[in-house]
Amino acid sequence: MGLKIRQLRMRRGFSLKELADLSDLSISYLNEIEKGKKYPKVEKLASLALGLGVDLGDLVSFKTGRNLHPLLKFLEGDLVSKMPLELFGLSESDVVDLMGNAPEKFASFVLTVLQISRSFDMKLEDIYNAALRSFIEANDNYFPELEKMAKIKRNDWNFTQESISYEDMSSLIKKQYLYEIDENTLAANSLLEETKVLVKRSELPKIFLNSKLETGQKTFYLTKEIGHRLLGLGNLEKSLGALLDDYKASYLAGAILLEEKMFSKDLKNFFSNSQFDQNLFLSLIDKYQVSSELMFHRLTQVLPSHFKVNELFFLGITTKVDEVEHFTMNKELHLSQLHSPHGQRMNESYCRRWVAIKSLQQLKNQLSKGLNNNCLLGQISIVEDGQQYFSISLAKKSNTEENTFQSLTIGFLVNEELKSVIKFLDDPILSRISIGQTCERCPKENCEDRVVPACIYQKKIEKNQKEKALSELIN
């Protein structure tokens, strides 16, 4: 109603005061109507219809012009109804007010976004994931209230040691929260054998853990479920709110298992060495009895807050053993800015010089020779704009997904702040390699790692040449 009245008023060229005078309404009341905060009574609607020169029936009908249809679909859709707008300091009336400033233009924008999402087969979950990632990045992936809660609970449970074992958490969740733990059902079911965890929250709660999981992964999922209990969460519906709740529980679990002061002290020791010590880095995973995934995620939380290193990115990439040339980026986080490498372009080939991919390729070679089942690499990557990144990448075989490799990579922009924290950046063991984004966009000639021609780069060159020729012809 508010959008419709505003649209009619704008079309007739009336100011708020002019329509208010014609309708015998106050300016403030009319403004509230247009913002969707008030719904006028029938006599007020009749006065508005008279002032706007339309029939009352047309004004109150649900029919709108074609140019407002996308807005109505947007307002009535799942995205608005399930989006916790308060997370971004907004209310529904704020959204309506934003639309009301130029409803036709906003409708065109919404329609454009919808068309793009259909073209790229984007689902509602993709939008939720992007919104959650934006929220995390805006907070530098650090939440003091959850860190404080983690310290309190460790004290309450008398966990003063650095590492918390699976036995510690399984005993806690059974005795204090009365959970039953089932480690057999998931792996035994052919349809569920790749499912890592399943939780039944009822009077007799039960948590199903896949027996293929590493011990550290099992410990994390038990701690995360306790996190849901501590935070009073239990939202299972698919929404941004549910994703945020789940992330908070994950964050709290990480803060409990890798207590920030203890972990920061060990990181300081690792970074203060003059040499890049792979074994020392890997030993931290064993010391805290956590999964490598949790270790890398925790790095993105602790480094900005304790070391003032916030120019960083995190990537999670998977590939099939028999299709090692095809990669999927399924996890991505960028703090401070959008770093390179980033994003997954449709039907393009990642630069094989990325350490995230090199670690996967090296892992495949190791396994073919019967060597270690994980591979840790460090590299200084020089990107196209000349910036340098120090990256650590750990590749390993997936526990639950058959014939699948995954790599976890954290990268830091090399600047003065990083140099003051990490003392081994000049270590010769760290190879220095120029990387591109994808082969299709890379200008490097005679590249041994190229898997497809630089077709997009060549088209860009041809376009520039054509524009130059046209300019010379005209001028």
Backbone angle region of 148, left / alpha / beta, with phi > 0 → left and psi within -120 to 50 → alpha = alpha
- The secondary structure of the chain in percent helix, strand, coil, rounded to multiples of 5, reads 50, 15, 35
- Nearest Cα neighbor of 52 from 28, 26, 100, 20 is 20
The C-alpha atoms of residue 314 and residue 59 are separated, in whole angstroms, by: 52
The C-alpha atoms of residue 442 and residue 447 are separated, in whole angstroms, by: 10
Q: For position 120, what pLDDT does the model report?
A: 61
**Sequence-separated (6 or more) residues with CB below 8 Å from residue 188:** none
Would you call 232 exposed, middle or buried from its count of C-beta atoms within 10 A (0-12, 13-18, 19+)?
Answer: exposed
**Strand-by-strand arrangement of the 404-413 sheet:** 328-334, 312-320, 404-413, 388-397, 374-382, 431-434
The C-alpha atoms of residue 135 and residue 460 are separated, in whole angstroms, by: 35
Q: Give me 48's structure tokens.
A: 């508005």
Domain assignment present for 125? yes
Question: What residues does 180 pair with on adjacent strands?
Answer: 206
- Nearest Cα neighbor of 227 from 255, 190, 189, 265 is 255
- Strand 206-209 and strand 180-182: the pairing is parallel
Question: At 84, which amino acid appears?
Answer: P
Domain assignment present for 382? no
Long-range contacts of 30-38 (CB under 8 A, 24+ apart): 33/1, 33/2, 33/5, 34/2, 34/3, 34/5, 34/6, 34/9, 34/100, 35/2, 35/93, 35/96, 35/97, 35/100, 36/1, 36/2, 36/3, 36/92, 36/93, 36/96, 36/97, 36/100, 37/2, 37/93
Total number of domains in the chain:
1
Phi/psi at 88 (5° precision):
-105, 15
**Sequence-separated (6 or more) residues with CB below 8 Å from residue 106:** 71, 98, 99
The C-alpha atoms of residue 256 and residue 86 are separated, in whole angstroms, by: 28
Backbone angle region of 206, left / alpha / beta, with phi > 0 → left and psi within -120 to 50 → alpha = beta
The sign one gets for the Cα dihedral 183, 189, 193, 196 is negative
Quick one: three-class SS letters along 267-302? HHHHHCCCCCCHHHHHHHHHHHCCCHHHHHHHHHHH
Domain assignment present for 151? no
Domain assignment present for 262? no
Backbone angle region of 13, left / alpha / beta, with phi > 0 → left and psi within -120 to 50 → alpha = left
Q: For position 202, what pLDDT does the model report?
A: 86
Domain assignment present for 323? no
Domain assignment present for 154? no
CATH, residue 56: 1.10.260.40
Which whole-number Å values give the CA distances from 431 to 84, 364, 417, 428, 447, in the listed order? 45, 20, 21, 7, 17
The whole domain housing 24 covers: 2-134
Domain assignment present for 307? no
Q: What is the pLDDT along the chain (475 residues), one digit of tens a residue?
A: 777 788 788 778 888 899 989 888 899 988 888 877 788 888 888 888 888 888 888 777 755 555 566 566 666 666 666 666 666 666 766 766 666 666 666 666 666 766 666 666 667 677 777 778 888 888 889 999 999 999 999 999 999 999 999 999 999 999 999 999 999 999 999 899 889 999 998 889 999 999 999 999 999 999 999 999 999 876 556 677 788 889 999 999 999 999 999 999 999 999 999 999 999 999 999 999 999 999 999 999 999 999 999 899 999 988 887 765 677 888 888 887 777 666 555 567 778 888 888 898 889 888 888 877 789 999 999 987 788 999 999 999 988 888 889 999 999 999 999 999 999 999 999 999 988 878 888 888 888 888 888 888 889 899 999 999 999 898 7
Q: What is the DSSP letter of 143?
A: -
Q: For position 330, what pLDDT does the model report?
A: 81
**Sequence-separated (6 or more) residues with CB below 8 Å from residue 44:** 23, 25
Q: Give me 340's structure tokens.
A: 């390179």
Q: Which letter, b or e, does each residue of 383-419 get, where b requires 16 or more Cβ atoms within 10 Å of its Cβ?
A: beeeebbbbbbbbbeebbeeebbbbbbbbbbbeeebe
Residue that is written with structure tokens 């750990």 in the block: 394
